[in-house]
Amino acid sequence: MIKVNLLKDHTTRARKTFAAPKVSRIGLIFLAIAVLAVGIMGSWTYYVHQQIRTGTERRVILRREEARLQALKQEIAKFEKLKQLRQSRIDVIEKLKANQTGPVLLLNMIIQSIPRNGVLWLTSLTQKTDTIKIVGYTQNTEVIPDFMSNLMTCGIFQSVDLEMIESQKDASKFSLVCISGKKPQAE
């Protein structure tokens, strides 16, 4: 009988030989082209994503700016309406001022003639034809001559005369007689 030992003998060490890989040049070229293509595609993808992010940020900024400009536009429209309303009121006032006659002009001129630095208040104003009598009070009698000179320079009166000054406890009562240079107009 013959016995065959199918098991390998472990006592002798045999050197294993590996097959050396053979690299072909065409394979390396294809590998280089594939790596280059992947690199280019990665770079291009990164660039596109950067452009998208930049564009999105710019869009957000521009939308905010547009909203701000729309709000400013609405404010401008509101102020334009307010300006037109005020201008129409000013026009009405100017028209009324231009159409003033007679007693209104007389009162305006007398009020403008009151000195700014003195305490002076008027209690009555009467007009009979071309004679106008002004009665009032003052705490300082030195403002009466200023008031008289202002009345003369306003251009309505030919003469302004002091009728009386009466000293009282807290103030002095005075009366002026003015002769008008213009014919009185009835209203």
Question: Is pLDDT at 4 greater than 80 in this prediction?
Answer: no
Right CATH number for 103-180 from 3.40.190.10, 3.40.1390.20, 3.10.20.30, 3.30.1360.100?
3.30.1360.100
Model pLDDT, residue 36: 96
Query: What's the length of the chain?
Result: 187
Question: Is pLDDT at 186 greater than 70 in this prediction?
Answer: no
Euclidean distance between the first and final Cα of the chain, in Å? 161
State the average pLDDT over residues 13-40: 84
Starting at the edge strand that comes first in sequence, how are the strands of the sheet with 120-128 ordered?
Answer: 120-128, 131-138, 172-180, 157-167
Q: What is the pLDDT of residues 51-89, one digit of tens each?
A: 999 999 999 999 999 999 999 999 999 999 999 999 999
State the average pLDDT over residues 95-106: 76
DSSP assignment of 32-99 equals HHHHHHHHHHHHHHHHHHHHHHHHHHHHHHHHHHHHHHHHHHHHHHHHHHHHHHHHHHHHHHHHHHHT
Model pLDDT, residue 3: 72
Among the ranges given (5-9, 130-134, 182-186), the one the predictor scored with the smallest mean pLDDT: 182-186
| Contact status, residue 136 vs residue 151, Cβ threshold 8 Å | no
Reported as a pLDDT band with limits 50, 70 and 90, residue 187 is very low
Reported as a pLDDT band with limits 50, 70 and 90, residue 184 is very low
Q: What is the pLDDT of residues 159-175, one digit of tens each?
A: 899 999 998 888 899 99
- The neighbour count for residue 122, using CB atoms within 10 Å, is 17
Q: What is the pLDDT of residues 130-144, one digit of tens each?
A: 889 999 999 888 888
| Contact status, residue 101 vs residue 185, Cβ threshold 8 Å | yes
Model pLDDT, residue 60: 96
